Amino acid sequence: MRQEIYIVRHGESEGNAGLPSQNHREIPLTEKGKAQAKEIPQQLPWEPELIVISPFLRARQTAQPTLDKYPETAVEIWPEVREFTYLMPKKCTGTTTAQRRPWVEAYWSRLNPFYIDGEGAESFFELVYRARETLRRIQNLSKQRILIFSHEQFIKVLTDLVERPLDTADDRMERFNRLPRLGNCEGRLLQYDALQPVYR
């Protein structure tokens, strides 16, 4: 069975706008982000059979206008589709994107998919595993049109898995920052063959 996944990045968050972040899970949308989210129902390629949402606040807020339009559609919160937390959350508390940039550059320069920055952080390998788990869950669904509200880094890895299922985590990390970026509330339509194995 061929399934279609439309996966959408959240709207502009306070973090995207350059404001300090206190809790990476609870960063809200800006007013601009809320306005962007209201446009999503009009850009969907079809009416979804299932809506999957990241547990992070900015994704849940982005999904709300679509939930309002499709109140009868099944909705599930999947922890697997949350954003990639590669920096230790405690050291990031109260910082801006600009302040975190040296840490971000240091992390990616390691090119080590198994490196963990500290308590509460995850490795790139774990991110890839979460994306594989997401495809496995989708594979087991009877639904054919799945809408996911998620985050840019997760979306990039999920897309890469669908397009290049045989590659290793090392391959994926090496090219990660060259993959196409997504704007806020930008979506990607992925066609996925449910018979395609997701564990290699």
- Inform me whether the pLDDT recorded for 197 exceeds 80: no
Residues 124-131 have a mean pLDDT of: 98
Question: Stretch 119-125: mean pLDDT, rounded?
Answer: 97
Question: What pLDDT is attached to residue 2?
Answer: 86
Give the C-alpha separation, 21 to 97, whole Å: 9
pLDDT confidence of 85, banded at 50, 70, 90? very high
Average pLDDT, the chain: 95
Q: Dihedrals φ, ψ of 182, to 5°?
A: -120, 140
**10 Å Cβ neighbour count for 72?**
5
Our measurement of the distance from residue 5's CA atom to the centroid of its chain's CA atoms, rounded to an integer in Å, reads: 13
Write down all domains in the chain, each with its CATH number in brackets: 2-193 (3.40.50.1240)
What pLDDT, on a 0 to 100 scale, did the predictor assign at position 46?
98
pTM: 0.94
What per-residue string of b and e applies to 123-134 under the rule 16 or more CB within 10 Å gives b?
bbbbbbbbbbbb
Q: Is the pLDDT confidence value at 103 over 50?
A: yes
